[in-house]
Amino acid sequence: MRPVVLGLQGTVDYLIEWDGATIEALADEYAVAVGELAAPGSVVDERSLLVTLLSFLASGRGGERHAASSEVVERFAARFRTEVALGGTSVRAALLLRRLGVPSLLHLVSRDDTVRRLLPAECASISSATEDTLDPHLIVQYREGDGARIGEVAIVAPSANRVIVADDPPASALRLAPELGDRVAEAGVFLVSGFNTIQDEGVLRERLREIREVIARMPEGGVVVYEDAGFHDQRFAPLVSRALADVVDVFGMNEDELQARRGRTLDLLDVSAVAAAVEEMKAELGQATLVVHTRHWTVVAGERAASFAAAADAGNAAAGARYLYGDDIGDAHVSSVAARERQPAARAFAAELERRLGRRARCLPAFDLHPDRPTTIGLGDTFVGGFIAELAREDAP
């Protein structure tokens, strides 16, 4: 089994489910108007946070936004029943890998008593943190049909998703631990993620320079996976693409991130629209293999698409297991999902997309799952965990 290093940051998450009655009461208290949802501004207080959430809900999209302070997050979360958990792409991937029997090493940028209490002892970690800090990420989960009445208008979610809001200075600084390079030099798989919360362009450019130096120490045959996220400042996304496309093997993203990067909304079952977006994204990335994972399908595009197809389908099954069964999943849950039928519309879509994109693309339909209470938080992170677990277990592509 190949050694796995997962970076670059973790979070303490405040998880809340949609509560229409509380949301409606807040909307009345703050006199929110439906017209405000079309173009929400920055999250500077509780009212603007509420407008942002309602805007996402109305579109059925998910994403991330920067808050002016952690106090805004804490105040809003206090109005709901809140579950505290550890999150971030690398941490959720590590937690899944642990349940699948795959060891890994986490790189963290912050610690506190919550992290020490919730991170299992089997999840080894290094950290750049020099003091304890707690800056929670608010994650609001909503399901298809959830909504609220704003004045005389009913706002209803057309599909399930989640929204993340946070002010996290350690994540925005994203300092690297001095020993990261030495640990990556012994790795077989290295996950890079977490640039999306950086607020300062100078800091971002410096961290990208540093991570390129770390990646250069990967052993021959190792696989570097970059996983995208919702950028708090979308202008920074192309900087990351340009800096990493020539040094990572896989450049991954979900449906919301693909749409944000292409600057338009996509019908995920429209072959022409998706093919155009994938081809545009692939042209931007050059040699890196593009992996886009969505609720309906996962596409792998690039010269090495066939090499990463099995890992992508393992990610599909892992994410499907979380969607169906929730957080505490293991090999049996993932295997049970992998044995299920695929979404009929996604099967037809996948066949046509592969025909359009040619031999350098594979499209894996998602599984046909219909839980009464689906889990929408952490699906992309769980996809990444399943993807990396498969890479760790197989020979180098």
CATH number at 234 reads: 3.40.1190.20
Domain boundary among 116, 151, 166: 166
pTM score, whole prediction: 0.94
Residues 285 and 194 in one domain: yes
Residues 70 and 24 in one domain: yes
Are β-strands 4-6 and 189-192 bridged in parallel, bridged antiparallel, or unpaired? parallel
Residues 68 and 216 in one domain: no
Quick one: which of 129, 142, 134 has its CA closest to 84? Answer: 134
Residues 38 and 21 in one domain: yes
Residues 235 and 362 in one domain: yes
Residues 177 and 77 in one domain: no
d(CA 257, CA 224): 19
Domain CATH for 61? 3.30.1110.20
Domain residue limits at 58: 13-84+135-166
- What phi and psi, each to the nearest 5 degrees, are found at residue 186? -110, 5
Residues 258 and 356 in one domain: yes
Residues 311 and 251 in one domain: yes
Residues 124 and 263 in one domain: yes
Residues 47 and 74 in one domain: yes
Residues 251 and 147 in one domain: no
Domains of the chain: total: 2
pLDDT in tens, the chain (397 residues): 999 999 999 999 999 989 999 999 999 999 999 999 998 889 999 999 999 999 999 999 899 999 999 999 999 999 999 999 999 999 999 999 999 999 999 999 999 999 999 999 999 999 999 999 999 999 999 999 999 999 999 999 999 899 999 999 999 999 999 999 999 999 999 999 999 999 999 999 999 999 999 999 999 999 999 999 999 999 999 999 999 999 999 999 999 999 999 999 999 999 999 999 999 999 999 999 999 999 999 999 999 999 999 999 999 999 999 999 998 899 999 999 999 999 999 999 999 999 999 999 999 999 999 998 889 889 999 999 999 999 999 864 4
Residues 287 and 327 in one domain: yes
